[in-house]
Amino acid sequence: MIPMQVVPGMDTASSGFLDLLPWIAVGLIVFVLFVWMAKRYKRCPSDQILVVYGKVGKGQSANCIHGGGSLVLPLIQDYRYLSLTPMTILIDLQNALSLQNIRINVPSTFTVGISTDPTIMNNAAERLLNLPATEIEGMAREIIFGQLRLTVASLTIEQINQDRESFLASIRKNVEPELNKIGLYLINVNITDITDESNYIYSIGKKAAAEAINQAKVDVATQDKTGAIGEAEAVREKDVRVAENVAQAEKGKKTAEADMRVYVMQQETSATVGEAEANREKEIRVAENMAESVKGQKKAEADKRVYVHGQESEAVKGENVAKANIADYNAGLAIKEAGALKRGEVAKREAEVEIQKAQYLAEQERLNAAEVVVKEIDKRKIEIAAEAQAQKTRKEAKGEADAILLKYEAEAAGIRKVLDSKAAGYQAMVESCLGDAKAAGTLLMIEKIEEVVAMQVEAIKNLKIDKITVWDSAGGSGAGSSTANFASSLIKSLPPLHEVARMAGIELPEYLGKMVDQQEPDPHKPPPVPPPPPNKPFKTER
């Protein structure tokens, strides 16, 4: 900057203005630039789309903005607005051929507009930017006409007329993609009326109306019937409630009387049961005392074991008896509950009959209940008596069994001692015979000879001979008579002592003698003379 020379005589105010002049110029430039940018910055209203075209980007023909603003550069960019205001298009479709080859008229109204979707906005900027509204509407009408005819041709009249939602969905499915190609989208479809030249739809409507009228008549008749039934049920319910209340009052009185009688019976039953249990306890104690007296006669150790087992058995039996009593009580309770439920159900059914019949049935139920109580008491008496008798029998049998067991144990011990004593005696006898077991056996056999002889005598002592017939030849010979031979032969039929000892495997000593057939023959003794032949026999009876 060239320094300013101060001219003599210039005042101080002029010098200050010259110093501010550069700053004023800068401010003017900034202000002009701000005004220019304000004029070139374009804002987009909410009901329009700002389309900035020109040099907006690589591979991009326009920049569509909704709800904002953009700086439009001069010379290389420009802008236009697309309105978002919907357009209503009347479509009077006539003689459209349906799937059934029936021509119908489908007057309708379509509402379309430019979408704010980026893709659809770009399509609108490319195809609708400079077109007036009438041309846009005509283009949309032609697209809608063609797609509507195609939709009608794919449906039957019933589908079109009865299922309007499906029909509108089919129209939207066919029309909307085609509108999107030019930058529009389908906002709403309204079908005003559908008619046909052959009055097919009218006939369907007439049939539906007739069916609706008939159904309405049926519904009216049904409602009348329901009202009449409801009224009758209300009247019957009132009568039933009145009868039930009266019967319930009468039954309450009868039930109280029956309960009093049942309570008295129950108390008597309890007394009887207690008495029977006391008697049973008494018999049990008596049987236990008898068993204890028997056990006291036996060995202390055996008595201890038997007593312990008896107490355990008694505990188990007591538990079983308690469980049985509990089961009987539960069974009786279940029976009473079932009876109460039964009486309740019967009371509900009997409410519809006369009061006299209800009283009769209640009295009959009371008598049945009293009879059941009596039978139950008898049953309990029999069961308690049978249980007491069985307990007594078990105790007595157990005591007898213990006595028999100890008796046999004592006998076995005695036999064992006898055998031990015999074994000791036999051993001493063998030792006295210097270990000769045969000699010891001979000595024992000698001791038993007397018993053997006694047994032989006993065998023929009681022999009774009523009649003996002997055919004797009467020949006198040294052999003796036949009668004598018969008697001696009878005596010889008993086995001799030596034969008995031989059977036992023992040989008697020589000082007791020998068998005849065992003696040595005498050479000096002549041989025996054979008996003469028998003469004519004669009969001798004795």
pLDDT tens sequence for the chain (542 residues): 444 444 444 556 666 667 778 888 888 888 888 777 777 788 888 888 888 888 877 777 788 888 777 877 778 888 888 888 899 999 888 888 888 888 888 899 999 998 888 888 888 888 888 888 889 899 999 999 999 999 888 888 888 877 888 888 898 999 999 999 988 989 999 888 888 877 777 777 777 777 788 888 888 888 888 888 888 888 888 888 888 888 787 888 888 887 888 888 888 888 888 887 888 888 888 877 777 777 767 776 776 777 777 777 777 777 778 777 787 778 888 888 888 888 777 777 776 777 777 677 778 778 887 778 788 888 888 888 888 888 888 888 888 888 888 888 888 888 888 888 888 887 787 887 777 777 777 777 777 777 777 776 676 666 666 555 655 555 544 455 555 565 555 555 555 656 666 665 566 665 555 555 544 555 555 555 555 555 444 444 44
Per residue in 147-193, pLDDT (tens digit) is: 999 988 888 888 887 788 888 889 899 999 999 998 898 999 988 88
Q: Is 25 left (phi over 0), alpha (psi -120 to 50) or beta?
A: alpha
CA–CA separation, 317 and 391 (whole Å) = 10
How long a stretch of residues is the chain?
A: 542
CA–CA separation, 92 and 109 (whole Å) = 8
Q: Where do the domains of the chain lie? A: 21-84, 85-198, 267-418, 454-541
- What radius of gyration do the chain's Cα atoms show? 71
pTM for this predicted structure: 0.36
CA–CA separation, 10 and 292 (whole Å) = 160
- The class level of CATH for 85-198 reads alpha beta
Helix (H) or strand (E) holding 410: helix 355-432
CA–CA separation, 175 and 184 (whole Å) = 10
User: How buried is residue 399: exposed, middle or buried, by Cβ count under 10 Å (0-12/13-18/19+)?
Assistant: buried
With beta carbons less than 8 A apart as the criterion, state whether 190 and 172 touch. no
Per residue in 443-478, pLDDT (tens digit) is: 777 777 777 777 766 766 666 665 556 555 555 444
Q: How many CB atoms lie within 10 A of CB 150?
A: 14
- Give strand pairing partners of 196: 104
pLDDT for the residue numbered 143? 92
With beta carbons less than 8 A apart as the criterion, state whether 531 and 476 touch. no
